[in-house]
């Protein structure tokens, strides 16, 4: 199957300039690339590349982050590199960056500078702690923000200290929110013709992502604490032992609690005076969780899943990541699609979770993540540079 011609998608025709590093910015750009935007990723020449927390380009992480993009290696600090950047900006709809404020201004990438070149431009910026304020110049990485947002304080077992989540959740959350902001700005521009500056940060994304745990503090003054695998407010809702593994069970409402007891023959639990109402179950949550665990240990994982779900009691196994991707429902949803790489062959990457009835997911990603500078010549030619000019720029070290 040829993938040389992209399938028309909702963002086809929009040009995006990706100046980001690390994970949060590329996550935002990936959303646009997956839905058809023509993304040019500008990267430093190899001699100036200081490496990335996401590893090497042909590794799994960067393949998953940078699929469907094209790459141009450009030294932005050279005069010719700056001129190329201006041409890229003039033809772009969106510029995405995560530079410090002083670097942004020095490179001519503040919103005020960009809109002089392109009045319809949308500048999308992402940072650790915001574009201004006392921490705006601090470097921001996922684990630092997990701690400073309070997320680590509610993750893990009580009394064992803060625990980070097993994924880069503040990076990917901020990237998702920036992607949504870009789409809002594009929609506004389609109606008004006006560009604007969209920005978010890892700390803003994570404070929003705290959701009900954050609102417990902002509304009621409560400070949530670690509950391990138990839900902070719903009982019983936790991870329980089966005879051959573990399951997550939610039986917190009157209906679900009755269904749990009936499906597993736990009549004594259902009749216990300590568990007759939600409030009573919350008051006795530790003893109730232990009692539920004694019941679930009599069954296998498969038996619990088969008995509880038809009774209206959500129940699911605790998988490792490999098992998650091999699950029957996940296989049905086809959460991966292949991308053809000239060296790696077919690589299976994780598709966008968004489903649009008018735009079914393509069978293949349009192209795998490019090596840095893989499309430099082609992109410069699109900007109007001739072969001799491109050769001269390479000799000067402006491009690679």
Q: Is 202 exposed, middle or buried (0-12, 13-18, 19+ CB in 10 A)?
A: buried
Closest CA to 379 of 56, 92, 11: 92
Closest CA to 139 of 126, 129, 153: 129
How many angstroms separate the CA atoms of 337 and 349, rounded? 6
Q: Which residues neighbour 131 within 8 Å (Cβ) at sequence distance 6 or greater?
A: 101, 125, 199, 201
Q: Is 143 left (phi over 0), alpha (psi -120 to 50) or beta?
A: alpha
Q: Tokens 């296998």 identify what position? A: 300
Buried residues in 131-166 as b, exposed as e (16+ CB within 10 A): eeeeeeebebbbebbbebbbbbbbbbeeeeeebbee
Q: Kindly name the residue from 75, 93, 171, 289 that is annotated as catalytic.
A: 171
- Looking at the DSSP bridge assignments, the partners of residue 200 are 126
Q: Is 238 exposed, middle or buried (0-12, 13-18, 19+ CB in 10 A)?
A: buried
Is 171 labeled as catalytic in the residue annotation? yes
Residues 364 and 338 sit within 8 Å (Cβ to Cβ): yes
Token pair belonging to 185: 């700005």
Closest CA to 38 of 73, 1, 11, 64: 11
State the catalytic residues.
Answer: 171
């Amino acid at each position: 199957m040829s993938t040389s011609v992209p399938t028309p998608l909702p963002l086809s025709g929009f040009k995006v300039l990706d100046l980001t590093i690390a994970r949060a910015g590329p996550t935002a750009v990936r959303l646009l690339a997956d839905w058809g935007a023509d993304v040019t990723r500008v990267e430093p020449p190899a001699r100036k590349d200081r490496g990335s927390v996401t590893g090497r380009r042909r590794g799994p992480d960067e393949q998953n982050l940078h699929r469907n993009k094209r790459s141009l290696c450009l030294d932005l600090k050279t005069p010719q590199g700056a001129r190329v950047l201006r041409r890229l900006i003039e033809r772009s709809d969106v510029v995405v960056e995560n530079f410090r404020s002083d670097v942004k201004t020095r490179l001519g990438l503040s919103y005020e500078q960009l809109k002089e070149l392109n009045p319809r431009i949308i500048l999308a910026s992402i940072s650790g702690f915001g574009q201004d304020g006392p921490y705006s110049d601090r470097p921001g990485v996922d684990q630092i923000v997990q701690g400073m947002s309070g997320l680590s304080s509610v993750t893990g077992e009580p009394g064992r200290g803060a625990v980070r989540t097993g994924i880069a959740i503040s990076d990917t959350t901020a990237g998702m929110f920036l992607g949504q902001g870009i789409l809002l700005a594009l929609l506004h521009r389609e109606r008004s013709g006006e560009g604007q500056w969209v920005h978010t940060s890892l700390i803003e994304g994570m404070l929003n992502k705290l959701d009900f745990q954050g609102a417990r503090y902002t509304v009621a003054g409560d400070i949530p604490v670690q509950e391990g695998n138990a839900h902070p407010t719903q009982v019983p809702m936790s991870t329980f032992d089966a005879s051959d593994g573990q399951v997550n069970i939610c039986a917190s409402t009157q209906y679900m609690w009755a269904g749990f007891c009936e499906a597993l023959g736990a009549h004594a639990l259902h009749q216990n005076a300590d568990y007759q109402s939600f409030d009573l179950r919350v008051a006795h949550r530790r003893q109730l969780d232990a009692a539920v665990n004694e019941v679930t240990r009599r069954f296998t994982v498969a038996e619990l899943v088969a008995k509880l779900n038809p009774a209206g009691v959500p129940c699911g196994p605790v998988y490792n990541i490999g098992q998650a991707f091999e699950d029957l429902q996940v296989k049905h949803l086809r959460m991966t699609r292949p991308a053809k790489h000239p060296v790696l062959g077919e690589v299976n990457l994780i598709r966008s979770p968004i489903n649009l009835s008018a735009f079914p997911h393509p069978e293949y990603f349009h192209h795998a993540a490019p090596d840095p500078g893989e499309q430099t010549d082609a992109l410069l030619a699109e900007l109007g540079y001739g072969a001799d000019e491109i050769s001269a720029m390479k000799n000067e070290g402006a491009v690679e």
